[in-house]
């Protein structure tokens, strides 16, 4: 069994790390470069940095941010937000990011997944999916959760894999920021359908939630934000707990 990964996520707005509930009500959580460095030192396996307003405000992802973070980190990191072309991805990867995350741009232009995978390799391409369960069906949402589509979550995840995505980052909008646990049933269904790693996002509130998403949700990695940003859980403590629970951790 592959070792499970712990991935702090930094949502960035106007150059600052922020965190909200169900994608709204944002509050400041600190300087992203300082936080990235701290998490790397504490033993995070990877980092994800998402410029959450890049797509909405039609801005390009901050290449400068990738450069600054790369200078401080010795672990892999992914950058997303506003990446809509091979050129955008090249700029971010060239600045030091290990992977790029695409979300709205991939839905609007699915061929982008193929193009990025062919150019940089599938290992560099993370397709992020924000989805919300509505009357028993999971629908994909765009632009930071602002726009509902008719795309069904599992069909889109499968298509993304077939087009060359190396990983799926699935955020449940129903669970995001609630600290009530991950969408483990949906994650397990996705895991049974796909052959690529799945990162669980949305809902981490305690160490047991992370254990449960590995055991019941079959997730390959757990992504969390506020529990790390606001010092509710320390990464070394979390890793010790997971090891005691019999989970193979890096």
If DSSP codes are grouped into helix, strand and coil, which group holds residue 118? helix
- Cβ 121 vs Cβ 115: under 8 Å: no
If DSSP codes are grouped into helix, strand and coil, which group holds residue 150? strand
* CA gap 21, 71 in Å, rounded: 31
Other residues' Cβ atoms within 10 Å of the Cβ of residue 111:
9
Q: Which of 11, 88, 176, 212 is catalytic?
A: 11
Whether 11 is catalytic = yes
Q: Which of 209, 229, 238 is nearest to 26 (CA)?
A: 229
* CA gap 184, 148 in Å, rounded: 22
* CA gap 191, 29 in Å, rounded: 32
Residue 169 pairs in a beta bridge with 128, 199
Whether 220 is catalytic = no
Q: Which of 45, 130, 176, 212 is catalytic?
A: 130
Q: Which residues are catalytic?
A: 11, 130
């Amino acid at each position: 069994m592959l070792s499970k990964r712990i991935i702090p996520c930094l949502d960035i707005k106007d150059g600052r790390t922020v965190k909200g509930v169900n994608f709204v009500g944002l509050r400041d959580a600190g300087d992203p470069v300082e936080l990235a460095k701290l998490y790397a030192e504490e033993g995070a396996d990877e980092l994800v940095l998402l410029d959450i307003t890049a797509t909405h405000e039609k801005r390009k992802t901050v290449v400068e941010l990738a450069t600054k973070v790369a200078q401080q980190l010795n672990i892999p990191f992914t950058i997303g937000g506003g990446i809509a072309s091979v050129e955008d991805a090249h700029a971010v990867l060239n600045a030091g990011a290990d992977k790029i995350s695409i979300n709205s741009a991939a839905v609007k232009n699915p061929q982008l997944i193929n193009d990025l995978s062919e150019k940089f390799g599938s290992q560099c391409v993370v397709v992020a999916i924000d989805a919300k369960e509505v009357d028993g069906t999971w629908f994909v949402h765009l632009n930071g959760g602002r726009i509902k589509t008719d795309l069904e979550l599992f069909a889109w995840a499968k298509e993304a894999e077939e087009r060359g995505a190396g990983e799926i980052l699935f955020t449940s909008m129903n669970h995001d920021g609630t600290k009530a646990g991950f969408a483990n049933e949906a994650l397990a269904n996705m895991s049974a359908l796909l052959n690529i790693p799945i990162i669980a996002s949305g809902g981490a509130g305690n160490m047991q939630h992370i254990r449960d998403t590995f055991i019941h949700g079959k997730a390959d990695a757990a992504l969390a934000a506020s529990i790390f940003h606001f010092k509710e859980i320390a990464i070394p403590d979390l890793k010790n707990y997971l090891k005691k629970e019999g989970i193979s951790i890096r």
